Amino acid sequence: MIDPDGYRPNVGIVLMRPNGQVFWARRVRRDGWQFPQGGMRTDETPVEAMYRELREEIGLSSEHVEVLGATPGWLRYRLPSHLIRHDQSLICVGQKQVWFLLRLLGDESLLRLDLTDTPEFDHWRWVDYWYPAKHVVTFKRNVYLRALRHLEPLARKVRMRTHSVLEISK
């Protein structure tokens, strides 16, 4: 599905541990790392697409996460010209995304990269919240920065809550 301006509707997922680190994954057969993301189907809302992509790409279901928030409206990025497929009937010039901040409930052993016949990722790790904005491919950096800036107050609350619980337990 591509909108009249040439953008493919998409969702992005920032999965966070209680300590504030975020899930960062390497694309299969590539050196590129990114957050989970994926295109929306014509019959899906952004929330429905997010849960589908969450399951397909990293093996988690709704009971494994808490939705902390989302970006309002669409954040767009354009593809570099060499990645635009000009031989298609509808030309996709980029993606428009709604980004979701999720908190992992439970243990990281729930994460699975191999639930589909064509996995998106072959490796993952936890990184500092701002790390992805500096290390994603260049054409996605502005969208990552805008999404992380918008979601950061919600992420800070989780980190503060975890810090408070740790202080109380000492």
Q: What is the pLDDT of residue 81?
A: 82
Q: Checking phi first, is residue 116 left (phi over 0); if not, alpha (psi -120 to 50) or beta?
A: beta
Q: Evaluate the CA torsion angle 15, 39, 82, 141 in order and state its sign.
A: negative
Summarize pLDDT for 104-162 with one digit per residue, the tens. 998 999 999 999 999 999 999 999 999 999 999 999 999 999 999 999 999 998 877 65
Closest C-alpha among 69, 68, 130 to residue 105: 68
Kindly report which listed range (42-51, 56-65, 73-82, 85-94) carries the lowest average pLDDT score: 85-94
Find out whether 151 and 71 touch, Cβ atoms under 8 Å.
Answer: yes
Query: How many C-beta atoms surround the C-beta of residue 37 within 10 A?
Result: 20
Say yes or no to pLDDT of 170 above 60: no
Fold of 7-169: Nucleoside Triphosphate Pyrophosphohydrolase (3.90.79)
Closest C-alpha among 170, 168, 140, 151 to residue 20: 151
Say yes or no to pLDDT of 93 above 60: yes
Angle CA(77)–CA(45)–CA(18) in degrees, nearest 5?
A: 75
Show me where the domains of the chain are located. Answer: 7-169
Say yes or no to pLDDT of 55 above 70: yes
- Rounded to an integer, the average pLDDT of 62-89 is 88
Global pTM exceeds 0.85: yes
Q: Which helix (H) or strand (E) holds 125?
A: strand 121-127
Average pLDDT, the chain: 91
Q: What is the pLDDT of residue 51?
A: 98
Q: What is the pLDDT of residue 83?
A: 79
Say yes or no to pLDDT of 6 above 70: yes
Q: What is the pLDDT of residue 168?
A: 53
